């Protein structure tokens, strides 16, 4: 309790310099919040888009009607299937002609219909993840009647690569900013220490151990880090809410706004804890540099 009281007292006493440090830390953490927010929402959209591709299962031409019906039943009952559409060879050709429009004349020379029949499975919500889709596809590829399966795998892979790059970017930027925040805190504490050098000397003459002197400074550093991070999160939330209010009326038709998300509680907690830790390390680093070592 003594240490906490001392830290709070010192924090208030040197409030100007502490406020400056807090604002600078908040700026740095705001950058981290922004990047993290982009990352979180991009992941949501990546998962959603990646799963919008329907699974199209192309059948071999020699499939018997009995096997086709058995497959239909099996696909309808499959856990990932929300709905199922069967497209016969003739229907597929008609659809292609419709899509080609005037260009459909090139199909007139065809001796036979090259297009396969297919089942199109609309995937259920909880299966709309690339890994689960892949697993289902591998299962279906084992069936002898299946010619091919299309679920837009190249598109998904590219999205996953992009998500991975974003993760690396977040960690990289976060790491650099984290170091910067730590140095800011170290500099602030060191400035405070220089102005309190005589006080520290008196404490040492009275018999205070190095840690007895250090702990209030470390707590002060933690406080700077946590308050700075909290302020950054608060500002980020305000900007997020304002953006949603501004964009939603115009964009609702094109985009599913339920996919947008602010930083989840674990991420917020992590940011606050990281701010506190950076504050602690910044103080300790600074205390070492000013000669107050054990």
For other proteins, the binding residues (CB under 8 A) are 2, 9, 13, 199, 202-210, 212, 294
Choice between 37 and 223, CB closer to other proteins: 223
Q: Which is nearer to other proteins, 14 or 128 (CB)?
A: 14
Q: Tell me the closest approach of the beta carbon of residue 274 to other proteins, in angstroms.
A: 31
* Phi, psi angle pair for 243, to nearest 5°: -60, -45
Do the beta carbons of residue 133 and residue 127 sit within 8 Å? Answer: yes
Nearer to other proteins, 53 or 191 (CB): 191
Tell me the closest approach of the beta carbon of residue 202 to other proteins, in angstroms: 5
H-helix or E-strand containing 212? Answer: helix 210-251
| In the complex, minimum distance from the CB of residue 224 to other proteins, in angstroms, rounded to a whole number | 19
In the complex with other proteins, which residue's Cβ is closer, 106 or 205?
Answer: 205
Distance in Å, CB of 191 to other proteins, minimum: 17
244 near 250, Cβ under 8 Å?
no
Question: With contact defined as beta carbons under 8 Å apart, do 58 and 150 qualify?
Answer: yes
- Which lies closer to other proteins via its Cβ, residue 58 or residue 212? 212
Tell me whether residue 149 or residue 284 sits nearer to other proteins (CB atom): 284
Which residues are within 8 A (CB) of 222 and not within 5 positions of it... i.e. 6 or more apart?
276, 277, 279, 280, 283
Nearest to 112 by CA among 90, 81, 140: 90
Please enumerate in sequence order all residues whose Cβ is within 8 A of that of 118, keeping only pairs 6 or more positions apart, or say none: 56, 57, 58, 59, 86, 87, 92
Least CB distance to other proteins at residue 210 (A): 8
Q: Give me the DSSP letters along 82-110.
A: EEEEEE-HHHHHHHHHHHHGGGGGGGGG-
- Kindly state the helix (H) or strand (E) to which residue 120 belongs, with its residue range: strand 118-123
Q: Least distance to other proteins from the beta carbon of 12, Å? A: 11
């Amino acid at each position: 309790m003594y240490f906490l009281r001392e830290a709070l007292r010192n924090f208030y006493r040197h409030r100007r310099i502490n406020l400056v440090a807090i604002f600078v830390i908040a700026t740095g953490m705001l950058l981290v919040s922004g990047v993290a927010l982009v990352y979180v929402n991009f992941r949501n959209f990546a998962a959603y888009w990646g799963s919008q591709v329907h699974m199209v299962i192309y059948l071999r031409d020699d499939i018997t009607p009995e096997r086709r019906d058995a497959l239909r039943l099996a696909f309808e009952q499959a856990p990932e299937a929300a709905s199922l559409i069967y497209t016969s060879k003739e229907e597929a050709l008609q659809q292609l002609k419709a899509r080609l429009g005037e260009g459909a004349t090139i199909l007139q020379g065809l001796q036979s219909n090259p297009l396969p029949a297919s089942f199109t499975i609309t995937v259920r919500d909880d299966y709309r993840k690339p890994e689960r889709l892949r697993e289902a596809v591998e299962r279906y590829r084992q069936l002898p009647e299946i010619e091919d399966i299309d679920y837009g795998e190249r598109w998904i892979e590219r999205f996953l690569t992009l998500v991975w790059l974003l993760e690396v970017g977040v960690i990289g930027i976060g790491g650099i900013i984290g170091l910067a925040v730590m140095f800011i805190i170290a500099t602030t504490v060191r400035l405070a220490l220089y102005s309190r050098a005589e006080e520290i000397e008196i404490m040492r003459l009275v018999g205070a151990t190095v840690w007895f002197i250090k702990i209030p400074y470390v707590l002060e550093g933690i406080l700077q880090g946590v308050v700075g991070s909290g302020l950054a999160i608060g500002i980020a939330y305000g900007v997020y809410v304002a953006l949603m209010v501004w964009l939603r009326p115009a964009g609702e038709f094109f985009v599913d706004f339920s996919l947008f998300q602010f930083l989840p509680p674990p991420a917020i907690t992590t940011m606050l804890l990281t701010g506190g830790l950076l504050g602690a390390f910044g103080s300790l680093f600074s205390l070492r540099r000013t000669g107050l070592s054990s």
